[in-house]
Amino acid sequence: ERINYDDFCQVADAMPPHCTASLFCASHFTKFYPDIFGRISLLDYFQWARRKNSLMQTRSELSNFDATGDGSLSEREMEQWVDWLIPSLPALSGMLPDFFPFYKVTAVRKFLFFLDPRRRGRIPIKAILASPVTQELLELRRADIMQEEMRHNWFSLAYAEMLYADYLELDEDQNGMLSSAELGRYRGGGLTNIFVSRVFQECQTYRNHSTGQSEIDYKSYLDFVLAMTYKGTNESLAYFYRLLDVQKKGGLAAFDVCYFFRAVADKFADFGDEANCEVEDVKDEIFDMVKPRDSMIITLQDLVYCKVGETVVGMLTDMHAFAMYDRREQSMDHSGGDES
């Protein structure tokens, strides 16, 4: 089904003025590609109108929780909004009451990670409305959302329950917190000890009075998981860069790269294997991949602009990620050799 501009205007004339201004202006029609007869797809238009209407509704909802009236929400206010929103999301209808607090933390943490990376404590409502994170959450309003769509949706009940179950599985002593040894078991234990230690040095920790060790809570764990899950995003690269930049110089020198990769090689040895490469060679390879503006140091900007930041971070922190990269490179080398 398609509609031309004249018919579009007739529909607009029949609508209340506030609807016309919000959804039926000429600029709204021109958002869509017309066919050779100047008609646009009704399906595309209605999907856009539904999203826009949902955002308008959300703007009103968010404003109700803005206690200070400054156009932004604190973490607590975000949790209040999510708490209010949950009953209106059909996809969350099966949530048990005991899981509500953990779900709220899980949901709000993604907003904070992507929209308040500097931890200023408040997120502008405009930023919330413009963020794809909000779109992902509001997808749960759809009664027709498919199971496959929810499988990778951070806000789906199944995904939130999986995240919490993983946390409980890592928490061997069941004290509700994670030690560095417990976090080190994440995804098969491939993360280096140095990298895990840096997580605990940079994140908020709590002292375990029984063991004297520092431990992280569920919120810090979720930040870590968000960084690992969305490793290629600017926010995640900034998270990892803060951990890699041990000396806080704003640049990773050859020494820093070697320091972190040497720990990856040691991790292979812990598993009775070897990295099959020299530390210096990997260092040179990483600098070649990133192509920093200053050939002596890699800045966060370099890591973002090179488009292989996710790969580089994996090579310097995770034995499994490096092994995957190495296998891919060897496969490409063999393929190139066959072609010649």
Rounded to an integer, what distance in angstroms lies between the CA atom of residue 34 and that of residue 27?
A: 13
Residue ranges, CATH 1.10.238.10, the chain: 177-339
The top-level CATH class assigned to 65-170 is: mainly alpha
Report the pLDDT value the prediction gives residue 323, as an integer from 0 to 100. Answer: 92
Structure tokens at 130: 């413009």
Q: Which parts of the chain fold into alpha helices (H)?
A: 5-14, 17-23, 26-29, 42-64, 75-85, 100-115, 125-130, 132-138, 147-151, 157-170, 180-183, 193-202, 218-229, 234-244, 254-270, 279-290, 300-305, 309-317, 319-339
Q: Where in the chain is the domain with CATH 1.10.238.220?
A: 65-170
Looking at residue 148, its pLDDT comes to: 83
Identify whether the C-beta of residue 153 lies closer than 8 Å to the C-beta of residue 159.
Answer: yes
CATH class of segment(s) 177-339: mainly alpha
What is the residue-averaged pLDDT of the chain? 92
pLDDT at res. 145:
81
**Using one digit for the tens of pLDDT, what is the confidence trace for 72-131?**
999 999 999 999 999 999 999 999 999 999 999 999 999 999 999 888 899 999 999 999
| 190-223 pLDDT, tens digit each | 999 999 999 999 998 998 888 888 999 999 999 9
Please report the pLDDT score of residue 333 as a whole number. 64
- Section 61-76 average pLDDT: 95
The per-residue pLDDT for 334 is 61
Assessment of whether the complete model's pTM goes beyond 0.75: yes
